[in-house]
Amino acid sequence: MARCTSCSAPLPANTNCCNYCNSRSDVDLHAKHPYRVEKSATHRICPNCDKPLQTIRLKMADPLAIERCHTCFGLFFDRGEIETVLQSSVSNVFDINREHIDNINKDRYPKQQKIRYLKCPDCRKHMNRVNFGQRSGVVIDQCIIHGIWLDSGELTHLLEWKKAGGQLLQQEQAADLEKQRQQQQNALPGAASDYSFNSNGGFSGTVEESLLETVARLLDKLF
Ligand SMILES: [Zn+2]
Ligand SMILES: [Zn+2]
Ligand SMILES: [Zn+2]
């Protein structure tokens, strides 16, 4: 359990704000990743607080500079940097613990949260909301050009998801789908060329039914 960095009281789940002293803690980096705050200023702005972000140098095999808001402790990663952090922080995962993966997500999102669109810290355009790794349960904010914003706590969630085998599960599912797709194609020679998207954005073509059934069956297996 994370503790308040000011008074050491245990922090409730899903928040970085202490019930006792009201101060916020960096639940993602404090006592988890060695890092150093750089003096150089950045022009990037926190999408939650509208304040300039700090540059944080993470000590890793290949040191990495990310940005952090000193008020809400959200983090901004340039493209590809989150993958590097996940890879260097969590390795040797060979088992998939589906129950744990589901619990991690339930703990984090007990109720429905209001959807808000944040502005990119760099270009200030609205970012896209994307489920990281398709099913991680962490909805991240992404600027296609500049990178990914994580609210405080989301990096920890992603690391737990990966430790529980979430990324393995994702790869497994992608491989399964690909295999099914190829089997369908082999079973129906020439079917691939019959694919087309109709004007409603749906599939049309001879393999539509069987493909949908396959996906439905796969989803059934998962839940
Ligand atoms: Zn406190
Ligand atoms: Zn902030
Ligand atoms: Zn941007």
Which residues on adjacent β-strands are paired with residue 148?
A: 77, 142
* 105-163 pLDDT tens trace: 776 665 566 788 999 999 999 999 998 887 777 889 999 999 999 999 999 989 999 99
32: left (phi over 0), alpha (psi -120 to 50) or beta: alpha
What is the number of other CB atoms lying within 10 angstroms of the CB of residue 90?
A: 17
**Which range, of 82-91, 143-152, 209-218, averages the lowest pLDDT?**
209-218
Neighbours of ion ligand 2 (CB under 5 A): 46, 48-49, 69, 71-72
- Which ligand has an atom closest to residue 15 CA? 1
Q: Pick the more confident residue, 101 or 179.
A: 179
Confidence at residue 22, expressed as pLDDT on a 0 to 100 scale: 92
CA 107 – ligand 2 centroid, Å: 23
Structural domain ending residue among the three candidates 167, 184, 208 = 167
Residues 163 and 194 in one domain: no
Asked whether 207 and 184 are in contact (CB, 8 A), the reply is yes
Helical (H) or strand (E) element with 86: helix 81-89
Residues 156 and 211 in one domain: no
Confidence at residue 150, expressed as pLDDT on a 0 to 100 scale: 95
Q: Is there a domain that residue 9 lies in?
A: no
Confidence at residue 61, expressed as pLDDT on a 0 to 100 scale: 83
Structural domain ending residue among the three candidates 151, 167, 183 = 167
pTM to 2 decimals? 0.76
Confidence at residue 173, expressed as pLDDT on a 0 to 100 scale: 86
* 10-63 pLDDT tens trace: 988 778 999 999 999 999 998 888 999 998 778 999 999 999 999 999 998 888
49 CB-near residues (< 8 Å, 6+ apart): 69, 71, 72
168: DSSP letter: H
- Which ligand has an atom closest to residue 11 CA? 1
For the chain, the domain total comes to 2
Residues 97 and 191 in one domain: no
Q: Alpha-carbon distance 107 to 176, whole Å?
A: 28
Angle at 169 between CA 109 and CA 197, to 5 degrees: 90
* 163-192 pLDDT tens trace: 999 888 888 888 999 999 999 988 876 655
Q: Is there a domain that residue 20 lies in?
A: no
Q: Is there a domain that residue 66 lies in?
A: yes
109 is in which domain, residue-wise?
Answer: 35-167
Q: Which residue has the tokens 């101060």?
A: 23
Confidence at residue 170, expressed as pLDDT on a 0 to 100 scale: 85
Q: Is there a domain that residue 106 lies in?
A: yes
Q: Is there a domain that residue 17 lies in?
A: no
Residues 128 and 173 in one domain: no
Nearest C-alpha neighbor of 159 from the set 33, 17, 26: 33
Confidence at residue 67, expressed as pLDDT on a 0 to 100 scale: 97
Average pLDDT, the chain: 84
Q: Alpha-carbon distance 85 to 83, whole Å?
A: 5
CA 215 – ligand 3 centroid, Å: 34
CA 125 – ligand 3 centroid, Å: 6
Instruction: For residue 183, give the 3-state DSSP assignment.
Output: helix
Q: Is there a domain that residue 158 lies in?
A: yes
* 196-210 pLDDT tens trace: 555 555 544 445 556
The pair of three-digit structure tokens given for residue 142, joined into one six-digit string: 């992404």
